[in-house]
Structure 1
Amino acid sequence: MNQNQTSSTSTTFSSLMIGLKPLVGSLVMRLITFSFLLVSLIVIATNSFDAFDIYGFPIKVDSTDIHVYRYMISADVIGMAYTLLLIVLIFFQVKSGSPVDSGLAYFEFYGDKIILFLLATGAAAGLGLTVEYNRLKDNDETTQNIQNFINIANASASVLLLGSISSAISSIISSLNLPKRSSS
């Protein structure tokens, strides 16, 4: 191999690595996002408390019995599905070493925006319900059970908020993959 072939190969490899940096960064942030969403889903989906109905019969209240928490669960599941899809697509893109085509770049860019708003509103709804409940609560035994339930749901909403923040970072990184437009 002569000097020109070596420098040409080196230049090609270095330009390939520069092109893959946003993909690798995006892949790492998506793995972090997926982890946050999974933790949030597990915490909220397994949360429940025991109470009594208006006739004095014991009942078990699950997080799916409360509409706000259903929305949080839906946001978690949709966010996880989208994030997992992009993890697979980006993994194959990194493995093949080919640049991101414009169709995938636009799908990723606009999809990130939609998922970001979905996750952020899910977290805001969960945190908002906690604030409203704490403002109106009494101090009896049933209220303590409900308070524990609300605190666990609040933790889940906080993790969902972290997921939306990491999704926002992924969104910024995905904008680096958009095709450059000429100014002419």
Structure 2
Amino acid sequence: MAPPPPSTTPQVITLVLKVFMFALLLASLIVLVTDTTTVPLDVIFELKVHFDDVYAYRYVLASIIIGLVYSLLQTAFSLYHLATGNRLISGDGGFVFDFYGDKVLSYVMATGCAAGFGATKDLKALADARKLDFDDYFNKAYASASLLLLAFLCAAVLSVFSSYALPKMVNES
């Protein structure tokens, strides 16, 4: 008698988390790259600020792009696995890739999120001290960092799932 097929519920849950993480990262990217403001300094001069004028926001952008590429790759792997029942990377290599990839990605996204929040808080304090109106600019930066934080939480949960899957799969082979 053949053993019953394994449940696809954990695979579907991880796929949903990967898609949700991708959507959050995409929204964070859109909010971040549209973050610009123009502040009049006096009657003649005005100051135009883009997100990429701040080095910390460039790091946030890099962490978002790394997260998007990784989550898109992992989503494709998960869809292939659900559709065929086979893993694209055979043997233990796929589980090891998931394990270390999820760990690295979660750290990259956590540090990107922290850089975004930290830079925004410090720059907002400077702008407020000089009585400059950058509120919309900083609100968008906070929104982007918040979306990145939610994506990091998805990556952290996926990291826990891959931590549980690795020893189980390595012991079965």
TM range (shorter): 0.7 to 0.9
CA apart distance, 1:75: 0.5
Q: Where do 4+ consecutive residues of structure 1 move more than 6 Å?
A: none
Give the gaps of 5 or more residues in structure 1: 1-7
Distance in structure 1 (CA, Å) of the matches to 2:161 and 2:10 = 6
The 5 A counterparts of 1:69-80 are: 69-80=57-68
Q: What amino acid is the match of 2:97?
A: F
CA apart distance, 1:134: 3.5
CA apart distance, 1:45: 0.6
1:33/1:83 contact within 8 Å kept: yes
Structure 1 equivalent of residue 4 of structure 2:
12
Select which of 102, 120, 123 maps to 1:133: 123
Change (3 A) 1:104 1:87: same
Select which of 27, 39, 46 maps to 1:58: 46
Deviations 1:62-94 (A, max 9, x none): 101111111111110110000000000111011
Structure-1-length-normalised TM-score? 0.81
1:112/1:171 contact within 8 Å kept: yes
Distance in structure 2 (CA, Å) of the matches to 1:21 and 1:97 = 13
The 5 A counterparts of 1:34-53 are: 34-51=22-39
Structure 1 equivalent of residue 112 of structure 2:
122
CA apart distance, 1:177: 2.5
Q: What amino acid is the match of 1:117?
A: Y
CA apart distance, 1:130: 2.1
The structure with the largest alpha-carbon Rg is 1
Distance in structure 1 (CA, Å) of the matches to 2:70 and 2:158 = 12
Q: CA RMSD in A?
A: 2.1
Structure 1 equivalent of residue 20 of structure 2:
32
1:22/1:174 contact within 8 Å kept: no
Structure-2-length-normalised TM-score? 0.86
Distance in structure 1 (CA, Å) of the matches to 2:119 and 2:53 = 14
Distance in structure 1 (CA, Å) of the matches to 2:52 and 2:123 = 17
Structure 2 equivalent of residue 4 of structure 1:
none
Select which of 142, 163, 166 maps to 1:154: 142
Structure 2 equivalent of residue 89 of structure 1:
77
Give the gaps of 5 or more residues in structure 2: none
- DSSP 3-state at the match of 2:129: coil
Distance in structure 1 (CA, Å) of the matches to 2:62 and 2:40 = 27
Q: What amino acid is the match of 1:119?
A: M
Deviations 1:84-111 (A, max 9, x none): 0000011101111136731011101101
Structure 2 equivalent of residue 175 of structure 1:
163
